[in-house]
């Protein structure tokens, strides 16, 4: 299986997985980069997986369905380009001979879902849309901090080796904030240097892994003493784990 991030717009990736014959794509906000890749690789589009309703994730769905006849899968509880198969937590879908488990991850949007496959060429794979980013997490447009924290906890509990395919190249700006929150984290400093060098060569920083994110992502580390202390310095009223998470998210929103 080949896993390819197709760049779209300014900082989106449309993830494509293919076996040399058939392909699936995730969150095609634009059809054009997908159509070009299908032609270049001589593969047929079998399935389109969508994580949430934002236009930069759905804008190319109708054109791709029309051009290729691919089946479309998306969240059960969001407005989606019809027709599609609607999925929610604990549902499964089969594509390219693989089985994907659907995980409910509300927070960024109310009905956001993620797709997890336990075994793609011996390693697990996660398509998490705008919920988990490398070094950060999505903004809370529709869900509550408690929902987002539970969603991130569910993703953090996946196997260490899980490759994390996020939809945006936000890594450097996330790491700048992460270093401000967690300045003594050696793994974070090392990863920041590596990510800067990748971006200097116009290479994607993704996919990440769950193990790495658990080490460096402040939004997966909100129970660590250093993170709790930093969040309380930003918002003295933060006390329980949800308010610590909410303070951290608010701090990131305001951070330049």
Of the pair 9, 255, the CB lying nearest Zn ion is at 9
Residue 108 is classified by DSSP as S
In the block, tokens 């991850």 appear at: 105
Out of 54, 65, 249, 252, point to the residue binding Zn ion (CB under 5 A).
Answer: 54
- CB 116: neighbour CB atoms within 10 A? 20
Of the pair 56, 182, the CB lying nearest Zn ion is at 56
Out of 30, 78, 104, 130, point to the residue binding Zn ion (CB under 5 A).
Answer: 130
Residue 180 is classified by DSSP as H
- Our finding on whether 30 is near Zn ion (CB under 5 A) is no
- Burial readout 224-239 (b: 16 or more C-beta within 10 A, e: otherwise): eeebbebbeebeeebe
Q: Which stretch binds Zn ion (CB under 5 A): 17-25, 48-56, 214-222, 235-243?
A: 48-56
Residue 26: strand, helix, or coil: strand
3-state helix, strand, coil in the chain (%, to 5): 35, 25, 35
130 belongs to the catalytic site:
yes
- Our finding on whether 78 is near Zn ion (CB under 5 A) is no
Phi, psi at 129, each rounded to 5°: 55, -130
Here's the x/- map for Zn ion, 132-151, by CB under 5 A: it reads as --------------------
At its nearest, how many Å lie between Zn ion and the CB of residue 209?
A: 21
Q: Which stretch binds Zn ion (CB under 5 A): 80-88, 127-135, 185-193, 207-215?
A: 127-135
At its nearest, how many Å lie between Zn ion and the CB of residue 96?
A: 24
DSSP string, 134-167: TTEE---SSS-HHHHHHHHHHHHTS-TT-EEEES
- Our finding on whether 46 is near Zn ion (CB under 5 A) is no
Binding-site size, Zn ion (CB under 5 A): 3
Residues 6+ apart with CB under 8 A from 136: 170, 173, 174, 177, 178, 217, 218, 219, 252
90 belongs to the catalytic site:
no
Q: Which stretch binds Zn ion (CB under 5 A): 18-26, 50-58, 157-165, 205-213?
A: 50-58
108 belongs to the catalytic site:
yes
Provide the annotated active-site residues.
Answer: 52, 54, 56-57, 108, 130, 168
**Footprint of Zn ion on this chain (CB under 5 A)?**
54, 56, 130
């Amino acid at each position: 299986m080949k896993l390819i991030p197709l760049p779209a717009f300014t900082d989106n990736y449309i993830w494509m997985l293919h076996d040399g014959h058939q392909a699936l794509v995730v969150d095609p906000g634009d059809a054009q980069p997908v159509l070009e890749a299908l032609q270049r690789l001589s593969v047929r589009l079998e399935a389109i997986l969508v994580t949430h309703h934002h236009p930069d994730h759905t804008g190319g769905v109708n054109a791709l369905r029309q051009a290729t006849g691919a089946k479309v899968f998306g969240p059960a509880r969001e407005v989606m380009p019809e027709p599609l198969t609607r999925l929610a937590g604990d549902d499964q879908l089969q594509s390219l001979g693989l089985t994907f488990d659907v995980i409910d991850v509300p927070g960024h949007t109310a009905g956001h879902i993620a797709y997890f496959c336990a075994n793609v060429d011996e390693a697990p794979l996660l398509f998490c849309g705008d919920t988990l980013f490398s070094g950060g997490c999505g903004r809370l447009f529709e869900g509550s901090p408690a929902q987002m924290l539970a969603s991130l906890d569910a993703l953090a509990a996946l196997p260490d080796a899980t490759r994390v395919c996020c939809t945006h190249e936000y890594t450097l700006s996330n790491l700048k904030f992460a270093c401000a929150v967690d300045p003594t984290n050696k793994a974070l400093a090392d990863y920041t240097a590596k990510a800067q060098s990748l971006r200097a060569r116009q290479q994607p920083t993704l996919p990440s892994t769950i193990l790495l994110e658990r080490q460096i992502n402040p939004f997966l580390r909100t129970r660590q003493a250093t993170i709790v202390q930093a969040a309380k310095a930003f918002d003295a009223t933060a006390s329980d784990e949800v308010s610590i998470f909410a303070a951290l998210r608010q701090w990131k929103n305001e951070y330049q």
